[in-house]
């Protein structure tokens, strides 16, 4: 996604929201037509389901054609409350629906509906899935908003060599993601410096990182994560903790609010707004988050694609941060096609084909390999060929094959 794909939503008449929205539009080059003012009470942390329905209907009717995602330029409201609670970003994307949250206390550990964007290859989620991922800026001062925006912009296309930290703590209930964490350092060896720390046997004083620099990813499981002030995060860093109410802003019901990650220098984060229980599907999956980000996704795309059941969640930060931006190229070099991209899905097969008459013939096939950019070659088609096309995993169903690009 790029600036023209994003709508920036501000609270009409709220000086801080207006200023943060203007700062974002200026920094990112978002088209002026994509700055939308809505009537919303920023003095309240919550929005009723009825008021949200009115807000969303008004917003959907006014969004320019082609907008694929939204940024909410305020800190509150951050959740929508009806029969249950949804993060306002999830409600914006999915609509308020009790299938996505826990409708009664008796169902406090209910499974919730899945997002069609989870681990998908969609690049145009509204066009392909009728879903606009959303993110909350989440800052409460203009200075904090500007610092967050600056971190996102500074991250773009840097291809950072930062460290990722995946931590299993003594908190057994909050460390259920460890089975996804543990294989990743070996899987990304040579491409990213990922570190798996297993502190499940204690001591509890070693549950949190301390004094680390160059941090690009930090995923853990604690009600509150100490020592954040001792860490130095790279621009574009993503971090979160699996805990019950990190997204319940502003106070997180006594746990650490997700905004503490932003205060520490993180660029985007995620947390839940009501008791989700410790289903890993309700939190980011590290293997998907890292893969999508490395292959060129923006922060909003990578985070949304990493959470399978996001209804109770809140996505917060700078949405267009893109440290591993892909700049694919297709050229004729030394009598061959040369294809360069870092966006291939690991394990998926792609092919370059040409059309002659009514028959498509494959020139070359390529396989996605985790952590490896493609620098592929293919022979030129015969002179009688009339078209070429690039095929690979479908945006809506990655297990199926679709035409991803085609010549006129």
C-alpha angle 279-114-248 in degrees, rounded to nearest 5: 55
Q: Which pLDDT value is given to residue 102?
A: 82
pLDDT, position 110: 83
| pLDDT band of 106, cuts 50, 70, 90 | low
> Would you give the DSSP letter of residue 282?
G
- Compute how many other C-beta atoms are within 10 angstroms of the C-beta atom of residue 304: 33
Does the pLDDT of residue 268 top 80, yes or no?
A: yes
- β-partners of residue 302 are none
Instruction: Give the residue-averaged pLDDT of 299-307.
Output: 98
50-93 per-position pLDDT tens digit: 999 999 999 999 999 899 999 999 999 999 999 999 999 999 99
- Residues 343, 355: Cα–Cα separation, whole Å: 25
User: What is d(CA 300, CA 321) in angstroms, rounded to the nearest whole number?
Assistant: 8
Question: What is the pLDDT, as a whole number, of residue 103?
Answer: 76
Q: How many CB atoms lie within 10 A of CB 132?
A: 23
Q: How confident is the model at residue 405 (pLDDT cuts 50, 70, 90)?
A: very high
Is pLDDT above 80 for 191?
A: yes
Q: Average pLDDT for residues 38-58, to the nearest whole number?
A: 96
pLDDT band at residue 107 under the 50/70/90 scheme:
low
3-class DSSP state of 118: coil
- What mean pLDDT is predicted for residues 259-275? 97
Interhelix angle 142-155/15-28, nearest 10 degrees: 20
pLDDT at residue 161 in the model: 83
User: What's the CA gap between 118 and 136, in Å, rounded?
Assistant: 19
Q: Which residues lie closer than 8 Å to 127 by C-beta, 6 or more apart? A: 66, 68
Identify the band that residue 105 occupies on the pLDDT scale cut at 50, 70 and 90.
low
Number of residues written out for the chain: 408
User: Mean pLDDT, to the nearest integer, of 340-347?
Assistant: 96
- C-beta of residue 258 within 8 angstroms of C-beta of residue 271: yes
CB burial of residue 204 (10 Å; 0-12, 13-18, 19+):
exposed
Sheet of 359-367, strand order? 359-367, 349-356, 387-393, 401-406
For the stretch 183-187, contacts whose Cβ atoms lie closer than 8 Å and that sit 24 or more positions apart, written own/partner, are 183/287, 184/286, 184/287, 184/290, 187/287, 187/370, 187/371
pLDDT at 397 over 70: yes
In the sheet that 336-341 helps form, which strands lie side by side, from edge to edge? 329-333, 336-341, 374-379
Task: Answer yes or no: is pLDDT of 315 > 90.
Answer: yes
């Amino acid at each position: 996604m790029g600036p023209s794909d994003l709508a920036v939503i501000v609270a009409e008449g709220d000086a801080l929201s207006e200023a943060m929205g203007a700062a974002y539009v200026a920094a990112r080059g978002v088209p002026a037509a994509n700055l939308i003012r809505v009537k919303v009470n920023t003095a309240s942390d919550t929005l009723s389901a009825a008021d949200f329905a009115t807000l969303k209907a008004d917003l959907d009717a006014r969004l320019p054609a082609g907008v694929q995602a939204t940024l909410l330029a305020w800190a509150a409201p951050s959740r929508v409350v009806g029969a249950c609670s949804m993060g306002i970003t999830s409600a914006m994307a999915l609509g308020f629906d009790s299938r996505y949250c826990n409708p009664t206390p008796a169902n406090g550990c209910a499974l919730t509906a899945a997002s069609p964007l989870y681990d998908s290859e969609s690049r145009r989620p509204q066009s392909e899935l009728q879903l606009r991922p959303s993110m909350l800026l989440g800052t409460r001062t203009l200075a904090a908003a500007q610092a967050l925006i600056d971190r996102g912009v500074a991250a773009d296309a840097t291809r950072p060599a930062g460290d990722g930290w995946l931590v299993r703590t003594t908190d057994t209930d909050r460390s259920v993601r460890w089975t996804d964490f543990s294989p990743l350092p070996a899987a990304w060896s040579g491409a990213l410096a990922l570190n798996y720390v297993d502190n499940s046997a204690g001591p509890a004083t070693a549950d949190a990182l301390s004094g680390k620099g160059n941090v690009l990813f930090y995923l853990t499981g604690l009600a509150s994560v100490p020592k954040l002030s001792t860490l130095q995060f790279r621009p574009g860093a993503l971090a979160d903790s699996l805990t019950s109410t990190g997204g319940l802003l502003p106070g997180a019901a006594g746990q650490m609010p997700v905004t503490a990650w932003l205060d520490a220098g993180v660029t985007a984060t995620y947390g839940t707004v009501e008791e989700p229980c410790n289903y890993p599907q309700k939190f980011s999956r590290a293997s998907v988050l890292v893969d999508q980000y490395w292959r060129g996704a923006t922060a909003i795309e990578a985070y949304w694609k990493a959470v399978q059941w996001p209804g109770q969640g809140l996505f917060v930060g700078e949405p267009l941060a893109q440290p591993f931006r892909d700049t694919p190229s297709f050229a004729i070099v030394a009598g061959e096609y040369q294809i360069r991209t870092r966006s291939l899905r690991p394990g998926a097969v792609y092919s370059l084909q040409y059309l002659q008459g009514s028959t498509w013939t494959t020139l070359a096939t390529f396989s996605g390999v985790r952590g490896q950019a493609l620098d592929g070659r293919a022979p030129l088609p015969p002179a009688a060929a009339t078209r070429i096309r690039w095929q690979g995993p479908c945006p809506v169903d990655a297990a199926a094959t679709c035409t991803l690009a085609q010549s006129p």
